[in-house]
Every structure is written in structure tokens, then in C-alpha cells.
């Protein structure tokens, strides 16, 4: 459907729902039937709706509500019926209120201990950018934020009113300053979230880009994105009883962008553990980018994974390898192509950075590392180097925290003859770390020119590990001679 057709469909859907009259089944902490001048629509529903009751009360208006959310009736019906965390607001826009970890789950995360990842000396953790030239942005806001005249002010009207300051990220109870531990956690959270979004043309940043770079003011505005507020605000945490919440498919919303912002993440969920916060942040922003939950059909809303792996849009807290998914595991409740959905909702796939053919290979200088991104399961990054005779080591290193890329490296003669390859077996060490994501070849070579291929690989089967689908992300490759 073309954009103009989609807008006409949404307008028609709103009109149909408006004729249907208000529906008055509510689920939420606020009085959802109250008058609210900030609503971006004439209320088409009388209250926030969820569950089977929502489907029943929508009746013939289900198709119109589905059209507003860019999906068909069957999908919206399934989401509302099977997932108790899904809600429709009074404009019939879909959002999720994701639950917090249980006490047992928090204890398991705490038992794993800190990752030990620290920001390099001299790093300003509030000026980190993953792709600074991009027109799209995901701003990780750890500083606190005033939520004013948004959907959340309506939903939490008694707690928020029309405006509420949400406290920032705060592990030690000293909100006015950031400790070394907090700065290290912020650095790790940024590493993990930016790795998740590495296949997309979007800048994951901890530096406030300014509201104009987040807001989409019109369909011709090409600079926009989402604000992910990581908050230790106790009033919000108590009001939502959640780990995070976000609207679906509003990243590129052009008519009421700010109303559906920001994505909210409870920073205390999981004890503020960096991996837990990062997984929740990527997940909530994923909702903004059009994604729904990955579960097990008829039984589980959030799939917690298997082996070392879990889907990002399930519950990614408990395994070290979390990736985008298209529901390849048995019983998957959601077979949407995450990568395609994100790309259609404002964050296009990143352009290839290194040639897919050996004839156009990027030059590697012995002793100097090159960086790259595997952006799709079909991406093969080729490199070439020339060396004197002796022992040569080729090292392929993925992201230091939460790599999505399970890397493989192959070595060839310039003629194309294979000389060796490396793809270690992945092993889960803790919930937040795994071995075997990197690769290394050590070989005695004659003087000459050689080719190196870097690609993503899978592990096991889709029911014991993962395919190449989500094995994407950043890496460095280096050739060294003894």
C-alpha cells in the first residue's frame, strides 16, 4: 500500500469508528473516559481497551481499528486476545505495557553479577553516537525528561497530570550526579542497543540531538526518531507496574509524533543491570518501530529462548545471544519479519560497507584493523591483504557487549582456493556472556596476496540455537604477522 493510500485508509477507519460510537470498557490506571483536549483525534473509543472484551466491544469496528494500526483484522484480534499486555487507546492506537521481572528472575540476574565492561578512559558517555550522519535517531535519555501532553499523561492522568518530570537513571539514589558505576552501565547499555540496531540506518545516541531531530513534524520531515527514557521514577514504576511501555508503529508518525512519545523503560527493573535495561530498551523501541511480541502460540506471550539464544521481542534477559527474529522456532506465535518491519517503519536497512565479491575486496593493511557491519544474512564482506612469508593470524572480533553477530572468517588464496576457516562453537557462559562469537585463523603462509571473507553464521538448529537470519552486527577484522 502506498503512503497516501495508507493515510486514506486510516482516515476512513477513524471515520468508521467514530460512527460506531464510544466503547466504554477500560483497562488502565486513569479515568480513560475523561475529557482530554490534547488527544490527537476525536475519541473513537470511550476507554482504553484490551483482551477478548476489546475484540467483542469493537465488533464491526475491528477492521477499522486494525487499519489505523497498519495491520489486518486477524492480526489485531490475535494480539488483543492472546497478549494481555496489549492495549488500544481512545484513538484506537496500539501500545504495550510490558511486565517487570519477577522476584526470582531479578535474583537470577543479580546472581550473574556485573559484566565488568567499563567505558574507556576519557569517554564521555553522554556523547556516544553509533551513526552520527543518519537522519534517524534513537536517543537513550538517562537524564530525566518532562512528559507533557502525551498519551502517557492521559493514561496516567491521576499520577502524571498534564505534565510530569520523570527522574533519570539512578543506581545509587544520588540523582544529581552520575557515579563511575552508572557511567559504565550507560556505556554498556549503549553498546548493546546500538549493536541491536546496527543493521539499520539509525543513530543510537546518548547525546540529546534536540527535539527537532526527534519530532517528525510532517511527512516531508526526514529527520526524526524516538526518545527512550530510562527512568528510576518511583511514581511511574508504581503506576505502570511494568518493565517498560511503548506505542506500536509511531517512529515515523507524522501527524501526532510527540503525542505517542517517548518509549518508557523502568531503569530499576532487573536491579538496573545493564543487560536488562538494554534488552528492555531495544524491545520498547522495537514496538515504536512496528514490532509485536515473540511468544509461543496459545500459551506464552514472551518466549524466553533456548540454548544460548532468545528473540529481542520476546524476553531477552536470560540468554547472552539476543537477535531479531522471524519466528523460525517451533510454535512461534509471531512470524513477522522483524528486519523488514523495522525498515518499513522509518529505519531503513544500512547500506553495504564492504563488497560482496572477492574481485572488489577492501584492502587490509597487515597490523591494522578494519571495522565492518554484517547487515543481512546474505552479506559477505571481502578483504584482501599482501604479506611476506611466515605465521599470519587473522582475528575477527564482534561487539564486546551483547554481540548479535556470530562471526565466521574464511581464508583464500588469490586464486580462490580455500586455505582455512574459523567458526567456533557458541557456548553460554552466563545470562549476559557467551564464548565462540568471534573467530580466528592462524596459518603459515607463503609471501603473496590473499583474500578474507567475513560473514554471519548460525548455531545448531532453530530449536536449539539460531539461523543466520539475525546473526548481524558490528565487527573488526585484523591481520597480524608474527
Name 310's bridge partners.
322
Specify the 3-state DSSP secondary structure of 224: strand
Domain with 76, as residue range(s), is 3-88
Among the listed residues 46, 51, 189, 47, the one whose alpha carbon sits nearest the alpha carbon of residue 117: 189
- Are both 476 and 377 inside the same structural domain? yes
Residue 256's CB: how many other CB atoms inside 10 A? 18
**pLDDT value of residue 114:** 75
pLDDT tens digit string along 237-272?
999 999 999 999 999 999 999 999 999 999 998 888
Mean pLDDT of all residues in the chain? 91
The x, y and z cell numbers of residue 381, run together, are 564482506
274 and 395 belong to one structural domain: no
Q: Is the domain of 183 the same as that of 279?
A: yes
User: 112 and 192: one domain?
Assistant: yes
Is the domain of 108 the same as that of 230?
yes
Beta strands 163-166 and 145-148: pairing type?
antiparallel
In the chain, how long is the greatest CA-to-CA distance?
80
Closest CA to 324 of 136, 186, 473: 473
36 C-beta neighbours (distance < 10 Å), count: 16
pLDDT band at 36 (very low <50, low <70, confident <90, very high): low
Choose the final residue of a domain: 344, 374, 404.
344
One domain, residues 388 and 453: yes
For residues 170 and 278, membership in a common domain is answered with yes
Could you tell me the pTM of the whole model? 0.92
3-class SS of residue 342:
helix
**pLDDT tens readout for residues 273-304:** 899 999 999 999 999 999 999 999 988 999 99
- For position 88, what pLDDT does the model report? 94
Dihedral of the alpha carbons of 179, 265, 270, 326, in degrees to the nearest 10: -130
Spatial distance between the Cα atoms of 54 and 24, rounded to a whole number of angstroms: 10
Contacts of 122 (CB under 8 A, 6+ apart): none
144 in the same domain as 65: no
Set of cell numbers at residue 297: 502460540
Point out the domain boundary residue: 314, 344, 374. 344
Taking 60 as the threshold, does the pLDDT of residue 13 lie above it? no
CB 192 within 8 A of CB 402: yes
**Whose CA is closest to 409, among 189, 473, 419?**
419
Regarding whether 243 and 184 lie in a shared domain, the answer is yes
Distances (CA, A) of 388 to 141, 440, 444: 50, 19, 10
pLDDT at 126: 98
| Residue from 398, 260, 263 nearest 323 by CA | 398
pLDDT at site 245 = 98
Model confidence over 59-85: pLDDT tens digits? 899 999 999 999 999 999 999 999 999
Q: How much is the average pLDDT of 15-19?
A: 47
φ, ψ at 236 (rounded to 5°):
-65, -45
Q: Considering 284, 311, 344, which residue would you say is the last residue of a domain?
A: 344
Amino acid at each position: 500500500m502506498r503512503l497516501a493510500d495508507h493515510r486514506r485508509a486510516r482516515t476512513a477507519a477513524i471515520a468508521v469508528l467514530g460512527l460506531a460510537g464510544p466503547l466504554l470498557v477500560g483497562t488502565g490506571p486513569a479515568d480513560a473516559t475523561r475529557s482530554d483536549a490534547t488527544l490527537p483525534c476525536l475519541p473513537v473509543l470511550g476507554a482504553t481497551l484490551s483482551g477478548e472484551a476489546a475484540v467483542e466491544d469493537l465488533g464491526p469496528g475491528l477492521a477499522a481499528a486494525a487499519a489505523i494500526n497498519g495491520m489486518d483484522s486477524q492480526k489485531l484480534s490475535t494480539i488483543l486476545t492472546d497478549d494481555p499486555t496489549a492495549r488500544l487507546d481512545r484513538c484506537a492506537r496500539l501500545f504495550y505495557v510490558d511486565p517487570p521481572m519477577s522476584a526470582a528472575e531479578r535474583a537470577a540476574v543479580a546472581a550473574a553479577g556485573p559484566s565488568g565492561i567499563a567505558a574507556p578512559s576519557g569517554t564521555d558517555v553522554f556523547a556516544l553516537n553509533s551513526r552520527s550522519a543518519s537522519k534517524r535517531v534513537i536517543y537513550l535519555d538517562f537524564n530525566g525528561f518532562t512528559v507533557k501532553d502525551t498519551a502517557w499523561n492521559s493514561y496516567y492522568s491521576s499520577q502524571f497530570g498534564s505534565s510530569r518530570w520523570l527522574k533519570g537513571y539512578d543506581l545509587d539514589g544520588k540523582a544529581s550526579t552520575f557515579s563511575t558505576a552508572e557511567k559504565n552501565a550507560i556505556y554498556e547499555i549503549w553498546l548493546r542497543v546500538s549493536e541491536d540496531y546496527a543493521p539499520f540506518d539509525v543513530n543510537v545516541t546518548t547525546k540529546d540531538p534536540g527535539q527537532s531531530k526527534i519530532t517528525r513534524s510532517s511527512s516531508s520531515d526526514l529527520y526524526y526518531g524516538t526518545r527512550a527514557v530510562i527512568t528510576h521514577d518511583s511514581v511511574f514504576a508504581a503506576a505502570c507496574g511494568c518493565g517498560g511501555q511503548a506505542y506500536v508503529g509511531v517512529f515515523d508518525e507524522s501527524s501526532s509524533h510527540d503525542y505517542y512519545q517517548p518509549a518508557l523503560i523502568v531503569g530499576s527493573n532487573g536491579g538496573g543491570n545493564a543487560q536488562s535495561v538494554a534488552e528492555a530498551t531495544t524491545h520498547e523501541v522495537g514496538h515504536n518501530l512496528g514490532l509485536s511480541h515473540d511468544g509461543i502460540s496459545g500459551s506464552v506471550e514472551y518466549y524466553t529462548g533456548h540454548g544460548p539464544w532468545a528473540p529481542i521481542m520476546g524476553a531477552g534477559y536470560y540468554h547472552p545471544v539476543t537477535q531479531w527474529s522471524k519466528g523460525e522456532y517451533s510454535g512461534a506465535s509471531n512470524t513477522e519479519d522483524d528486519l523488514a518491519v523495522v525498515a518499513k517503519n522509518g529505519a531503513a536497512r544500512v547500506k553495504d560497507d564492504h563488497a560482496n565479491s572477492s574481485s572488489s575486496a577492501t584492502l587490509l593493511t597487515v597490523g591494522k584493523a578494519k571495522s565492518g557491519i554484517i547487515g543481512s544474512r546474505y552479506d559477505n564482506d571481502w578483504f584482501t591483504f599482501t604479506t611476506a612469508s611466515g605465521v599470519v593470524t587473522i582475528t575477527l572480533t564482534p561487539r564486546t557487549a551483547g554481540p548479535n553477530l556470530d562471526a565466521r572468517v574464511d581464508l583464500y588464496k588469490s586464486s580462490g582456493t580455500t586455505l582455512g576457516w574459523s567458526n567456533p562453537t557458541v557456548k553460554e557462559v552466563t545470562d549476559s556472556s557467551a564464548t565462540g562469537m568471534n573467530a580466528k585463523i592462524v596459518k603459515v603462509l607463503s609471501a603473496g596476496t590473499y583474500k578474507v571473507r567475513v560473514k554471519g553464521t548460525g548455531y545448531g538448529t532453530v530449536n536449539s540455537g539460531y539461523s543466520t537470519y539475525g546473526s548481524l552486527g558490528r565487527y573488526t577484522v585484523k591481520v597480524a604477522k608474527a
